[in-house]
Amino acid sequence: MDEHAWAPVAWLADHVVTPILQRLGRHDDPRDIAVALLLTALQLTLIAGVFRPLESLWPAERWHDRRLTRVDRTYTLLMLLGLFPLFSYLVLAPLASPGGDVEAVRGPHGLRAWVPWFEQHPWLLFGVYYLLYDFVYYWMHRAQHAIPWWWALHSLHHSQRQLSCWSNDRGSWLDGMLQSLILAGVGLLAGVEVDEFAVLMLIGELVQNYSHTNIRFGFGRWGSRVVVDPIFHRLHHMVMDPQRPGLHNRNFGQVFALWDVLFGTSLYGEPIRPTGVADPVVDADNQRGVLAMQWHAVRRFWGTVRRPLGWKFGEVAFSEDCEPIAVGHDPAERALDQPVPDERDDARQPSREQ
């Protein structure tokens, strides 16, 4: 992939990025940063110009207003302009070579060194990279739901009652950094170049922006068995059903649904359901702004990571002081799974179009 042939990259690198790097005393490659900025601009254009209009034309759920989605739009702008995954890659790259020589990282290594044949088949190599990247993401995502201290952070992403095209980047920044370090580390070991990693990010982010979109159509019966679509992913975000308590722990894939199919975590054929969480302590995120959300997610994390239950696989809810409480699903324990009613209950029960 030769970004040097892309004129906008060269212009942005020479006239915008390079002067800023010089003023900051940095020696990063301005073209890599220019590529990342342009990909971010493309992503924002598609979200606002394509996915958002689709929500108005063919909504999965109709809401009386979209006020709960506003904070997610702020998250998207902050997260995309922060470029967490690419930042992590640029931080890890100097550590991956002797003496911190970034150029040494750019030599043949990873899959290119292990299978030299890939040098003559770059697109096939990229496909292998992406399968590896998405496979790691699938298992990481399962861990986010299975490990209580990680769920304490990830639950912020799931607390949204109005799932929309802006919801993908709603989440704990600590969780985001942890995900980025894992994915970037895998990319380094596999030998992914900076520009290739930026494209990996873009594909993953765009599919996730689309899969969170509030629309009622997907890729069809067979397409949805391969690629994650809004219908598939909305089931992952549904509120727990006390009558079928394990139903919401499905559909973990980022881009490829085939991992869920292969490992028995896929769910199809269910009607559209309300999204969010049943735990009232986590559901309260919907009453907060960005900084307050981050603070309460860290409180849940600290309250969980310092207790033994926080390290045992299983589903938990949180007490008011953020102590994790194991969630069983017998009638005596279901009180934990009921949200605190408030004046915004109509946002939890939108009218639905099938």
Say whether pLDDT at 160 is over 80. yes
Query: Is the pLDDT at 106 greater than 60, yes or no?
Result: no
User: Residue 102: its pLDDT value, please?
Assistant: 45
Mean pLDDT of 311-328: 94
pLDDT grade for 194, boundaries at 50, 70 and 90: low
The whole-number average pLDDT for the span 16-38 is 74
Is the pLDDT at 153 greater than 90, yes or no? yes
| pLDDT of 211 above 80 | yes
Statement: residue 117 has pLDDT above 90: no
How many whole angstroms separate alpha carbon 241 and alpha carbon 278? 9
What would the mean pLDDT of 155-178 be, rounded to a whole number? 94
pLDDT reported for residue 354: 34
Say whether pLDDT at 51 is over 60: yes
Counting the structural domains of the chain, the total is: 1
Residue, of 207 and 31, whose pLDDT is higher = 207
Question: What pLDDT was estimated at residue 300?
Answer: 98
Where does the pLDDT of residue 24 fall: very low under 50, low under 70, confident under 90, or very high at 90 and above? confident
pLDDT-derived band of residue 339, with 50, 70 and 90 as boundaries? Answer: very low
User: By residue range, what is the domain housing residue 227?
Assistant: 3-352
Statement: residue 234 has pLDDT above 50:
yes
Find the mean pLDDT for residues 169-174.
93
Q: Span 123-143, mean pLDDT?
A: 91
Q: Which amino acid appears at position 237 of this protein?
A: H
